[in-house]
Amino acid sequence: MSATATEPAGPRAAGAPRRSLASRIVNRAGGGAVQIVLVLIALLWLVPVVGLFLASLRSGADNAGSGWWTVLTKPTELTVQAYGDMLSDSTMVDSFVNTVLITVPATVLVVVVAALAAYAFAWMEFPGRDWLFLVVVGLLVVPVQVGLIPVATMYGKVGLYGTIPGVVLFHVAYGLPFAIFLLRNYFAGIPRDLLEAARMDGGTEWTIFRRVIFPLGGPAIASLAIFQFLWVWNDLLIALIFADSGSQPITMAIQQQTRQFGSNIDVIAPGSFLSMIVPLVVFFAFQRHFVQGVLAGSVK
Amino acid sequence: MAERPELTETGTAGPAGAGAAETGSGPSAERGRAGAGRWLPSGFLAPALVLLGLLVAYPILFTIWRSLFDAGGDTFVGLDNYVAMFTDSQTFTALKNNLIWVLVAPALVTSLGLIFAVLTERVRWATAFRLVVFMPMAISMVAAGVIFTLVYDRAPERGLLNAVVVGVHDVFADPSPFPGARPRDTGPLATRAGAYETRQQARPGQTVTLPLVAITPQRQRELAPARSAQARPGALTGTVWADFTPGAQAKANQIDPTEKGLGGITVEAVSGGRVAATATTAADGTFTFTGLADGAYTVRLPAGNFAQPYNGVNWLGPSLVTPAIIASYVWMWAGFAMVLIGAGLAAIPRDALEAARVDGATEWQVFRRVTMPLLAPVLMVVMVTLVINVLKIFDLIYIIAPGSSQEEANVLALQMYLRSFVGERGDQGLGSAIAVVLLLLVLPAMMFNIRRFRREQG
C-alpha cells in the first residue's frame, strides 16, 4: 500500500470527508516529524556499533585517554595497529578458527540428523510415531542449563571435556528438537504425489530423501541452517562449560579478556569486530532467510 | 508459519512452489523393501534419538536427582537446595532480578517494536530502517556487551553516555572555577563543611589574605599574577591566590611575585552566621566588600567554588546496573519485535481499516479499536517468546556487569553457572536446583509457543 499520509489525492481522499488545507499541512508536518524521529532512532541504534568500530581503529593509549568520538576531529589517530597486533597474537586467531570448527559441523550435523528424523516422522509408518514425535517436541522446553552439569560429568568420563567435538555434540543435541519440529512440519507439506512418483520409479526411501525431500525442503532448511549457525557462532555459555583454552571459540576468548585486570580495549574491540564480521555478512547476504531463520528459531 | 515476516515484502514460494524437482528417476535398483522396511525408520531416527536421549532426556532426570543432594553429591538433602534459593542471599537476588527482567524487558521491547512498526508503515525507507534496527540480532550478546561497556563507561571522557550527560549538565550548570583547590592545614583559612573561612575576623578597612593550594600547574599558567589588595577605608578587601611557587623559596601565606590570582571566586562576608555581603574576585584575585556595617566579619569561600566537576552517572554501579543492561537488551531485541509486529500489521485486511475510516473514525480510534485487537495475537507471541528468552538471559550480564556490581545484576542463569562451575565453593546441588527451576519457569511459556506453532502449521 502506498503512503496515504503524503498522497491525499489517492482513492481514499475521495471517500473520506474532505480535508482542509490546514489538516493537509498538519499531516505533512506530522510525516516530516516521523521521518526525523526515525532518523534519530536509527542513529541511536547505529552509534554504539560505530563507536566500537572506531575504538578498534585507535591505539590503546588513545582509547584510555579519550572517547572514540575524538577521531571525528582528529582522524590522524586512526590506525590498524590493534588489528595487526590481534592477527600476530595467536589467541584471537586460533579462537576464531575454533569458532568455525565448532559452528560448521554443528550446523551441518543438525540439518542432516534432523532432516533424516523429520522425514521419518513425516512420511514413514511405524508404531508409536506420533507419540515419539510428541516427546521429541516436548524436549524443546529443556533449557541448556539442565544439561550442563550431567553432560559435563559424562564428558569427563569419556574424554570429551574441553574438546571441540564435545562442544559440537552438545550444540547439535540441543538444536535437534526444534530442528526436527520445524522440518517435519515443512516436509509434511510436500505433495504426496511427488513422493509416490518417486516410489513408482523404484526409488528407495534413501533416494527419495536425497532427491525429493532435501531439495524441496530448501527454504525451511535454509532458515534452520542460518538460525543454527548464528546460535552456535554467538554462543558463550556452552563454550564456557565444555571448551578449554585450546578449544575456546572467539566469544569465550573475548570474555576472558574482559575479565583481565585493567583496560585492554585494544584487544577486545578488534576481537569483537572479528567475531561480528561473519554474522553480519550472513545477515546482509541472506537477509530474507536470515529474518525467517531468526524468527523461526526464536521460539527456542 | 501463516505469514512469513520479512524486512522486505516480497513473497516466498512454499514447498509446492519449488515445482520442477527431480522425482528420483536415478539409478535405483529394485530392492527388497518389504524386508528392510520394518527397520528402515529406526535407521533414519537413530542418530537423532541417540543424541537426544543421551544429552537432553537423560540429563533432565540426572539434574532433578542431583538437585536433591548436597554440594558434594553424597548426602541426600531433600528439597533443601530449593529452600536455599530463597535463603541464600546471592541466589535470592538473582531470582528477584529475573523477576524484574521478565516484568520489564518483554513489555519494553514489545512496545518499542510496536511503535517502530507503526512509524515505519508509511515511510519510504522503511526497509533501511528495519535493517538497521534488526541488525543487532545478528551479533552475539558478547559483542553487544562489549559495545555497551563502551557506552556505559564511568569516565565521561571515554563513556559515550556520560559524555552526553555531562555535556548537557554543564550547559545548564556552570562548572566550579577551581575544583579541588584547598587551603593549607595551617594558615589563615580553616575548612568548615566544605567551605573555607578565615580563622580571624576582620573589620571594614582591613585587608585579608586567602591563600589556596592544589591548583594544577597547567591551570596556573593560564592565570594572571596575584596582587595585594589595597586597604580602603570603610571597605573590607582581600586577595584569593594560588600560594605556591614551584622550586622557589617562596613564603607560605604571602603573595610572592610569581604567584597567580584566582579570579571568578565567590566570596562572602559573614557576620553572626548570616551572609552580609557577597563579592566575586577579579582576575588578579582581589575582591572588595563595600557598604558593610561596622563590625567583625568572617570571610568565607563557599564550597561551590571548589566542587569537583560533575562526572556523570555510575551506570554500572549497584543501583543502576540492571536497568542499564535491560536497556542494552532492548537495543538487541527491539528489531525482532518490530519485524514480527510489522508482518502482523501488513496482514490486517485493508477493508476493516477503510470501513472504520469511512465511518468517520480518527486515525487514533482506528488504531485502538481495529488495529490493536487484530494485532493482539501477534503481540502475545512476541511477549511470550521474549519471556522465554529473558528467563535464560546470561551473556549480556556476565559481560557488561563489572565484578563490583555483578552480584546486584545477577540472574538465575548466571548464578547457576557461577555456583556450579566457578570458584572453590562450587555447589552443583544448588546449581541443579536452579536449572530445574529455570525449566519449570520456561515450561508454561514454551507450551504456549508450541501450541501456537502447531496451530499455525496446521
Model confidence at A292: pLDDT above 80: no
How confident is the model over A250-288, as pLDDT tens digits? 999 999 888 775 568 888 889 999 999 999 998 888 877
Region B56-72 average pLDDT: 90
* Cβ within 8 Å, pair A67-B157: yes
* Cβ within 8 Å, pair A146-B13: no
Between B251 and A72, whose confidence is greater? A72
Contacts of B55 in chain A (CB under 8 A): 147, 151, 169-170, 173-174
* Amino acid A20: pLDDT: 60
Model confidence at A226: pLDDT above 80: yes
Nearest CA in chain A to B9: A288
A77, A62 Cβ separation under 8 angstroms: yes
* Cβ within 8 Å, pair B443-A141: yes
* Amino acid A263: pLDDT: 64
Q: Chain B 417-446, CB below 8 Å of chain A: which residues?
A: 417, 420-421, 428, 431-432, 434-436, 438-439, 442-443, 446
Region B122-149 average pLDDT: 89
Q: What is d(CA B431, CA B23) in angstroms, rounded to the nearest whole number?
A: 52
* Class for the domain spanning A89-297: mainly alpha
Residue B424 confidence class, pLDDT cut points 50, 70, 90 = low
The three three-digit cell numbers of residue B84, written as one number: 536455599
What strand order describes the sheet that includes B195-198?
B189-192, B195-198, B298-301, B266-271, B274-280
Between B212 and A232, whose confidence is greater? A232
How confident is the model over B265-318, as pLDDT tens digits? 888 888 888 888 888 888 888 888 888 888 888 888 888 888 777 778 888 888
Inter-CA distances, B197 with B175, B182, B268, B302, B341, Å: 21, 11, 9, 8, 65
How confident is the model over A46-74, as pLDDT tens digits? 999 999 999 888 888 888 778 888 888 88
Please provide the CATH number assigned to the domain covering B57-155+315-457.
1.10.3720.10
* Amino acid A23: pLDDT: 59
Judge whether B385 is closer than 8 Å to chain A, CB to CB.
yes
SS3 labels along chain B = CCCCCCCCCCCCCCCHHHCCCCCCCCCCCCCCHHHHCCCHHHHHHHHHHHHHHHHHHHHHHHHHHHCCECCCCCCECCCHHHHHHHHCHHHHHHHHHHHHHHHHHHHHHHHHHHHHHHHHCCCCCHHHHHHHHHHHHCCCHHHHHHHHHHHHCCCCCCCHHHHHHHHHHHHHCCCCCCCCCECCCCCCEEEECCEEEECCCECCCCEEEEEEECCCHHHHHCCCECCCCCCECCEEEEEEEECCCCCCCCCCCCCCCCCEECCCCEEEEEECCEEEEEEECCCCCEEEECCCCCCCEEEEECHHHCCCCCCCCCCCCCCCHHHHHHHHHHHHHHHHHHHHHHHHHHCCCHHHHHHHHHCCCCHHHHHHHHHHHHHHHHHHHHHHHHHHHHHCCCHHHHHHCCHHHHHHHCCHHHHHHHHHHCCCCCCHHHHHHHHHHHHHHHHHHHHHHHHHHHHHHC
Which of B101-115, B266-280, B327-341 bottoms out in mean pLDDT, i.e. has the lowest? B266-280
- Nearest-CB residue to B41 (from A4, A38, A126): A126
The three three-digit cell numbers of residue B358, written as one number: 469511512
Smallest CA–CA separation between A146 and chain B, in Å?
Answer: 5
The strand pairing partners of B241, in sequence order, are: B211, B261
Judge whether B137 is closer than 8 Å to chain A, CB to CB.
yes
Judge whether A156 is closer than 8 Å to chain B, CB to CB.
no
The mean pLDDT value of chain B amounts to: 82
Which of B47-51, B244-248, B310-314, B320-324 bottoms out in mean pLDDT, i.e. has the lowest? B244-248
| DSSP state at residue A213 | I
Judge whether A228 is closer than 8 Å to chain B, CB to CB.
no
Q: Minimal CA–CA distance to A231: which of A98, A100, A107, A92?
A: A107
Judge whether A49 is closer than 8 Å to chain B, CB to CB.
yes
* Amino acid A49: pLDDT: 92
Q: Indicate the pairing of strand B286-289 with strand B260-261.
A: unpaired
A86, A270 Cβ separation under 8 angstroms: yes
Residue B363 confidence class, pLDDT cut points 50, 70, 90 = confident
Judge whether A260 is closer than 8 Å to chain B, CB to CB.
no
Which one of A142, A206, A277 would you mutate to disrupt binding with B, by most B Cβ within 10 Å of its Cβ?
A142
Region B231-238 average pLDDT: 86
Model confidence at A218: pLDDT above 60: yes
A174, A231 Cβ separation under 8 angstroms: no
Judge whether B396 is closer than 8 Å to chain A, CB to CB.
no
Model confidence at B413: pLDDT above 90: yes
Residue B15 confidence class, pLDDT cut points 50, 70, 90 = very low
For chain B, how big is the Rg over CA atoms in Å? 36
* Cβ within 8 Å, pair B133-A176: no
* Amino acid B27: pLDDT: 36
Nearest CA in chain B to A6: B122
* SS3 state of residue A162: strand
B146, A269 Cβ separation under 8 angstroms: yes
Q: Indicate the pairing of strand B207-212 with strand B236-242.
A: parallel
CA neighbours within 13 Å on the CB side: how many for A286? 19
Judge whether B117 is closer than 8 Å to chain A, CB to CB.
no
Residue B457 confidence class, pLDDT cut points 50, 70, 90 = low
Model confidence at A172: pLDDT above 50: yes
Which one of B51, B66, B447 would you mutate to disrupt binding with A, by most A Cβ within 10 Å of its Cβ?
B51
The mean pLDDT value of chain A amounts to: 82
- Nearest-CB residue to A234 (from B133, B141, B416): B141
The three three-digit cell numbers of residue A51, written as one number: 563507536
* Cβ within 8 Å, pair B120-A38: yes
Smallest CA–CA separation between A128 and chain B, in Å?
Answer: 11
* Amino acid A300: pLDDT: 54
Which of A9-18, A55-64, B93-102, B246-255 bottoms out in mean pLDDT, i.e. has the lowest? A9-18
Residue A242 confidence class, pLDDT cut points 50, 70, 90 = very high
Model confidence at B248: pLDDT above 50: yes
A123, A185 Cβ separation under 8 angstroms: no
Judge whether B12 is closer than 8 Å to chain A, CB to CB.
yes
Judge whether A42 is closer than 8 Å to chain B, CB to CB.
yes
Between B399 and A2, whose confidence is greater? B399
The most confident of the ranges B111-115, B151-155, B249-253 is B111-115
Nearest CA in chain B to A288: B6
Inter-CA distances, B309 with B23, B159, B160, B381, Å: 76, 16, 17, 48
Residue B178 confidence class, pLDDT cut points 50, 70, 90 = confident
* Amino acid B185: pLDDT: 81
CATH 1.10.3720.10 domain range(s) in chain B: 57-155+315-457
Torsional sign, CA B352, B357, B359, B365: positive
Smallest CA–CA separation between A203 and chain B, in Å?
Answer: 6
Model confidence at B32: pLDDT above 60: no
Give the number of A-B residue pairs with CB atoms closer than 8 Å.
Answer: 349
How confident is the model over B371-397, as pLDDT tens digits? 888 889 889 888 988 998 899 999 999
Contacts of A220 in chain B (CB under 8 A): 15
Between A295 and B44, whose confidence is greater? B44
Residue A22 confidence class, pLDDT cut points 50, 70, 90 = low
Residue A12 confidence class, pLDDT cut points 50, 70, 90 = very low
pTM of the model: 0.80
The three three-digit cell numbers of residue B266, written as one number: 565567590
Region B125-149 average pLDDT: 90
* Cβ within 8 Å, pair B331-A48: yes
* Cβ within 8 Å, pair B142-A298: no
Q: Chain B 325-384, CB below 8 Å of chain A: which residues?
A: 331, 336, 339-340, 350, 354, 357-358, 360
Encoded amino acid at B34, one letter: A
* Amino acid A7: pLDDT: 37
